[in-house]
Amino acid sequence: MSSAYGAFMTSNYSSKFTLLFFGILLGCGFGAAIGFGVKAILFQKPDGAVYETPEDLRAAISQRDSRDVSPEGVSLRSIIRPNLSNSILYELQPSLDVRFKNAQVHINEAGYRGALVPVEKSSDTFRIILLGDSFAFGWGVEDDETFAFHLQKILNERFQGDSKVEVINFGEPGYSTFQQVALFEEKGMAYHPDAVLVYFVDNDFGMPFFIRRFDDPKSMILSKQVRSHAKEVSGNHEAEENVRGLYRNMDPNQSLNHLSGILRKSDARLYLTINPRKNWQVDRTSLHVIDLEPPVLTLIPLRERFVNIVKERGIDRKKLILSRKDTHPSPIMHILLAELLADSMEPDIRKKMSKPTL
């Protein structure tokens, strides 16, 4: 296995922190266990201090300086704006057409990448909303090179006008699963999708870079100190509940189960696919929501088919990533993902679209 290919297929926990170091206050009645803190190149204060409040971070997101323009284009901070929800914190800036990471990025008036889709859906349309992080967003590739774009194109070619398929790309750089679900609740539900596809990357299991102390919400610690700090507060019942609350709310299983419950009310289907890295089964095992009975989602496995198609077509594995320094999917990789996802979703779409409307 080439080093570049291995690097892509084992995206590490630090990659998302490179985009944004942040904590999310979930506000779910478990105390202020999860705190806000940012210490990154994008939002770093001159003195290296940490942003300790949502307001402080939102102000930083809105600022601009010399770091926001480079030969690759504008910075990530230049294409996002604050979101008032403490479960979301930031979102893509609507109505942008900019150069970002060596690719032209168009963000429409509604605040997602790609062509604007009317909120109202026609009866002959099957609508898919894609949730994910920078992989789904299409980091480093053009608008018409993302797997969301290709998935829509491939499915419409296969249906040949019998039905129309729309894929709305709600991918947001740096997001974790709980943010994706919160964004869907805030914006995506209005589009009444027939299906929601979650593209899961292993760093979605990661914690915020900073969290609030379990025994003193006014103070903050590094997330890597969680285990030792949890031992320190043993015996403090309120602090122990904050520890349990932290793990419950950061668990993507809870977010996915919650999303499934939302979609069941509208007869929409939830699909989950896992980034086809070599050790994808590690992620699969940890996502026990997949095994719930009755099923709450449909898993689309990619790894085996992905490896086969790369081998069959003689694709140089180094060409599956943007570069040795940036292991986000390349345009070729996006096409492969779209083909595999289309193969898996097409039968269900045909079945649903063949049913007479009442």
Which tens digit of pLDDT belongs to each residue from 37-79?
A: 332 333 444 443 444 555 665 666 666 666 677 778 988 888 9
CB 210 within 8 A of CB 223: yes
The predicted-structure confidence for 287-345, as pLDDT tens digits, reads as follows 999 999 999 999 999 999 999 999 999 999 999 999 999 999 999 999 999 999 999 99
Per-residue model confidence (pLDDT) at position 238 = 85
Please state, in angstroms and rounded to a whole number, the distance separating the CA atoms of residues 162 and 45. 55
Q: Kindly give the parts of the chain with pLDDT less than 50.
A: 1-51, 208-210, 358
Task: Please give the residue range of the domain that contains residue 20.
Answer: 3-354
Identify the H or E element spanning 72: none
If one counts the domains in the chain, the total is: 1
CB 259 within 8 A of CB 196: yes
Per-residue model confidence (pLDDT) at position 162 = 73
> 274: how many CB neighbours lie within 10 A of its CB?
23
Dihedral sign (CA 167, 287, 266, 171): negative
- CATH number of the CATH domain containing 12: 3.40.50.1110
Residue 39, amino acid: K
Nearest residue to 133 (alpha-carbon basis) of 63, 200, 52, 206: 200
Give me the residue label for tokens 């979650």. 198
Nearest residue to 211 (alpha-carbon basis) of 245, 177, 257, 262: 245
